Structure 1
Amino acid sequence: MVCINCKYEHDSNFCPNCGERSEVPRITFKSIFSNGLSTITNMNKGFLFNVKHLCLNPNGIVNDFLKGKRKSIFNPMSFLIIALTVYLIVDAMIVVKANVSGNKINPKIYGVGYEAGRFMKLYLKYFWILSIIWLSVSTKLLFGKYNYAEHLAINSFVMGQSILVGLVSFVITKLNLLFNPFVYISIIWITYQTFKRKKRDLNAFFQSVGSTLLFFIQLVIIVVLIGILRS
């Protein structure tokens, strides 16, 4: 028989060249649902696999991915997008009342803040996906080691997991991602665990703090500029 995926001729249940099944079952509603759910909930591969290992062993999962051991690891960009999507769903369900009055502060400052906040609300998903660009600039500057594309992959893991941490804390504190300290603590911790060279690496810790601080400063500058341009 000929493999439907790579056209390799064989007589096994699985293609020895690419691993595709010899007999591919027809698509049904059940298969769509079960395969989609498995991608999210499977602890041996998929989304929750990433969550588990980024909690327990960030260095291991990130380095495995960079070295090419990727079969069980959920794509980091997809991981980031799904984590952010879950956050947006929860954010839409929870109404947070603003407690700042525009009459109590400078109208210009209020206008800048209002427009920046409005922009963030409208384009939150794109803002945080693009934020890995700035985080990768920070980690590349302070750690070097990998090329920029690899830093983007690393920080997709970091940001995806940190958004999930931000989600849990958001439910309790009602703090949005930009000013949620738990998000930045998570970024520092995962970055440190990923880049440390030994069990206790003070240099890597301070580099992690520095890169996260630089990242936060970049975000604030971008948000302020957006507010100024839109006000």
Structure 2
Amino acid sequence: MTCISCKTEFNTKFCPNCGEKSEIKKITLKTIFEDAISSITNMDKGFLYNLKTLFLNPKKISTDYILGKRKEILNPISFLILSVSIYLIVEDLLHIPKENTEIHNLPELYIGKIAYAMGKYIHVYLKYFWILSIIPLSISTQLIFRKYNFIEHLAINSFIIAQATIIGIVTFLILRIDLPINPFVYLSILWLVYQVFMTKKDKIETFFMSFAVLVIYILLLIIIGIGIGLIMV
């Protein structure tokens, strides 16, 4: 039998090269639904695999992905988008109100208008802001940890931001703290950066370097936020 995905010859239930099934099912609503559920609930592959591994061994999943061992791993960008989408769904289900106050109705203090414009823009366009926050985080990790190239840092930090978002969802349900200002999210980012870049010989040094990454990342987010506020005022 020839694999329809990679053209490898095999006689087993799954292709030994890419894992494609030998049995080709006709596409129906049932098969589409089953595949969708399986991709989310399978602990050995996909979303829950990412979630589990990032909790238990963040370094493994990031290293495996960079080395090309990606069979079980949900693409980091897809993982990030899915995590942020879940947060937005949860926020919507809980009917968190959005501010409608116009900027020109605020007090005349200019800095107050900038802060309000920044907060309003981030809240309205949270999905894009949070997904794109992998860029300042990647700038931060590459400045401090020079082990990988920038694209690899983007992949690693997509995993990190996605996992921190999941933690943000849990704490949001309990404490009602918005994602961009949730301290547990940033503590999660610190812990994940430390775990991913940790070396056995320099654990203390890696912790302080990870803390430096977090500080730079937050400063970059603040600068970006102020820039948005200045544009929106």
Do Structure 1 and Structure 2 share a fold, with TM-score over 0.5? yes
The answer to whether the 8 Å contact 1:96/1:174 transfers is no
Per-residue CA shift, 1:143-186, capped at 9, x if unaligned? 11111111111100000000111111112222212211101100
Give the secondary structure class of the aligned counterpart of 2:73.
coil
Matched residue, 1:181: 183
Change in 2 beyond 3 A, CA 1:2/1:169 = closer
> Partner of 2:198 in structure 1?
196
Q: Who is 1:219 aligned against? A: 221
> 1:10: Cα distance to partner?
6.7
- Per the alignment, residue 127 of structure 1 pairs with 129
| Percent identity between the two aligned chains | 48
Partner of 2:94: 94
Listed as ranges, the gaps of 5+ residues in structure 1 are none
Change (3 A) 1:225 1:106: same
Correspondence for 2:81 = 81
Map of 1:146 onto structure 2: 148
Change (3 A) 1:8 1:210: closer
Letter in 2 for 1:66: I
Structure 2 CA distance for partners of 1:199 and 1:52, relative to 1, 3 Å: farther
**RMSD (Å) for aligned C-alpha atoms:** 2.5
**Matches of 1:34 and 1:66, distance apart in 2:** 29
1:4 shift after superposition: 3.6
Number of residue equivalences: 230
1:48-106 Cα shifts (integer Å, max 9, x gaps): 1111111111112211222221111111111101000000111122244689x999965
| Equivalent in the alignment of 2:174 | 172
How far is 1:214 from its partner?
0.5
In structure 2, relative to structure 1, the CA distance for the partners of 1:90 and 1:18 (3 Å cut) is closer
Q: Is the 8 A contact 1:169 1:175 kept in 2?
A: yes
CA distance in structure 1 between the partners assigned to 2:162 and 2:171 by the alignment? 14
Q: Which residue of 2 aligns with 1:71?
A: 71
Q: 1:217 to 1:36 in 2, by over 3 A?
A: same
Distance in 1 (CA, whole Å) between partners of 2:112 and 2:77 is 35
Q: Separation in 2 of the partners of 1:14 and 1:157? A: 28
Alpha-carbon separation, structure 2, partners of 1:197 and 1:22: 42
Deviation for aligned residue 1:109: 2.6
- The alpha carbon displacement at 1:118 in A equals 2.1
CA distance in 2, matches of 1:95, 1:45: 33
Deviations 1:105-143 (A, max 9, x none): 653233222221221122211111111011000000001
Aligned counterpart, 1:48:
48
SS in 1 for 2:85: helix
Partners of 1:184 and 1:50 in 2: how far apart? 19
**2:212 aligned partner:** 210
CA shift digits 1:3-60 (9 cap, x unpaired) = 5434567776655665544441101111111110111111111101111111111112
Cα distance change of structure 1 residues 18 and 49 upon mapping to structure 2, 3 Å threshold: closer
Find the residue that maps to 2:200 and give its secondary structure: coil
Map Cα deviations across residues 181-231 of structure 1 (whole Å, 9 max, x no partner): 101100000100111101770111011111011101111111111111111
Q: Give 3-state SS (helix, strand or coil) of 1:72's partner.
A: coil
TM-score by length of 2: 0.88
Counterpart-to-counterpart distance in 1, 2:216 and 2:135: 12
Q: Determine the C-alpha separation between the residues in 1 that align with 2:18 and 2:180.
A: 43
Unaligned runs of 5+ in 2: none
